[in-house]
């Protein structure tokens, strides 16, 4: 089996393939360490509180797994606190009733008085009609999760697990009995290596002296995330995936300690949580263009978009100071939900990407689903047919409205 992309989903798929008895697995990635991987550059949130059956079905078993290894991955299960304005509050209550009735998530509704009691730092609640608190949700370390997946794959598969770093996929040849992935294998040269990787990930070609490597397998699984739109045309599929930059800021408010709490989502769309003794906060800019961009806009972006929201909710954040930040890529699909299934017209190509903003929280179950397709040719546990690649052409997108 050949896996393209070694992030959370690719690594989870390798683990599940090994658990199903596959003895030869190759993971190919330009950036196996993940310096520019969406798997490494996210906020680490994990939640089961979705509004579509499909997303809950992938999140819940993943969370159950995270609970079983919580100390190994720093899973801090302190919930999501989601604040709503008057217009969105009735929909939140309706969704909460469904989540609790059908999935026993134990989501609680808080009025503003209860919200302030839950977190006294939230002392300015203008425009907040209510909030939901979901205790099964929380935060984890995505890097630790990815490394755990890889360790388990190595334990089960031994030397049959092959990790190819600095491997640029240049072509995919499909034959009736095999798949050949043509790779340009380049070397990292410090200090220029990091710049070279970044340039390649932003759609440049590898250096001219890259070696040509052919990797042969029976099935190829495309887990390239935001780069799927570059890889999929190699087997004839123009996938509707857009790379979009998301930015995250780290700030410090000396009088605010959010360590007793999990994730907060403000009515403004700004989300935030503790980052040691600091505060991590992000926001999705609707005007952000489709592009491979990794620059961080710095204090100006923080002061324009993050600081007003946090200071407007917590008076003790009025004097908070910007410390640092970064950016990473979301992979937008038309319905903002993941894709899992055989590529149209191909029995040897599986697509597993597009899990924008939920790669960490759904990776365990999504990787299991991809491994099931690769070995059994069908979904055996969670039926992911609604996430098939052809659903957009079929006019059957997944309906999910609880998005950050």
Domain boundaries in the chain?
A: 2-42+142-241+335-391, 76-138+243-332
Task: Convert 115-134 into a string of H (helix), E (strand) and C (coil).
Answer: HHHHCCCCCCCCCCCEEEEE
What superfamily in CATH does domain 2-42+142-241+335-391 come from?
FAD/NAD(P)-binding domain (3.50.50.60)
Q: Determine the topology of domain 76-138+243-332 in CATH.
A: D-Amino Acid Oxidase; Chain A, domain 2 (3.30.9)
pLDDT of residue 192: 43
pLDDT of residue 156: 97
**Using one digit for the tens of pLDDT, what is the confidence trace for 131-169?**
999 999 999 999 999 999 999 999 999 999 999 999 999
Q: 76-138+243-332: same fold as 2-42+142-241+335-391?
A: no
pLDDT of residue 191: 44
* pLDDT < 50: residue spans in the chain: 190-192
pLDDT of residue 190: 44
pLDDT of residue 328: 95
pLDDT of residue 45: 96
């Amino acid at each position: 089996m050949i896996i393209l992309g070694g992030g959370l989903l690719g690594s989870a798929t390798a683990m599940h393939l090994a658990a199903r008895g596959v003895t030869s697995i190759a993971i190919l990635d330009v950036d196996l360490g993940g310096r520019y991987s969406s798997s490494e550059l996210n906020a680490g949130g994990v939640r089961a509180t979705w509004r579509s059956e499909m997303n809950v079905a992938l999140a819940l078993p993943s969370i159950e797994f995270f609970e079983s290894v919580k100390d190994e991955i720093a899973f801090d299960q302190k919930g999501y606190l989601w604040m709503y304005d008057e217009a969105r509050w009735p929909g939140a209550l309706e969704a909460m009733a469904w989540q609790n009735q059908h999935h026993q998530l134990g989501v609680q509704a808080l009025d503003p008085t209860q919200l302030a009691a839950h977190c006294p730092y939230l002392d300015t609640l203008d425009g907040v009609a209510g909030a939901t608190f979901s205790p099964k949700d929380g935060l984890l370390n995505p890097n630790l999760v990815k490394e755990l997946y890889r360790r388990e794959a190595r334990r089960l598969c031994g030397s049959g697990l092959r990790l190819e770093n600095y491997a640029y996929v240049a072509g995919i040849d499909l034959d009736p009995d095999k798949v050949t992935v043509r790779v340009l294998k380049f070397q990292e040269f410090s200090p220029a290596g990091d710049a070279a990787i970044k340039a390649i990930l932003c759609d440049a070609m590898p250096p001219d002296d890259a070696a040509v490597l052919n990797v042969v397998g029976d099935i190829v699984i495309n887990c390239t995330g935001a780069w799927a739109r570059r890889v999929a045309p190699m087997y004839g599929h123009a996938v509707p995936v857009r790379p979009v930059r998301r930015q995250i800021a780290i700030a410090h408010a000396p009088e605010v300690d959010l360590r007793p709490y999990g994730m907060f989502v403000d009515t403004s769309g700004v989300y935030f949580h503790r980052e040691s003794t600091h505060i991590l906060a992000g926001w999705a800019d609707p005007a952000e263009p489709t592009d491979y961009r990794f620059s961080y806009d710095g204090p100006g972006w923080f002061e324009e978009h993050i600081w007003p929201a946090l200071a407007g909710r917590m008076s003790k954040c009025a004097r908070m100071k910007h410390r640092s930040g970064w950016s990473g890529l979301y992979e937008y699909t038309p319905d903002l939900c993941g894709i899992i299934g055989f590529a149209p017209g191909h029995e040897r190509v599986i697509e597993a990407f597009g899990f924008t903003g939920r790669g960490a929280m759904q990776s365990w179950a999504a990787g299991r689903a991809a491994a099931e397709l690769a070995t059994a040719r069908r979904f055996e546990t969670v039926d992911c047919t609604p996430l098939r690649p052809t659903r957009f052409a079929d006019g059957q997108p997944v309906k999910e409205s609880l998005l950050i």
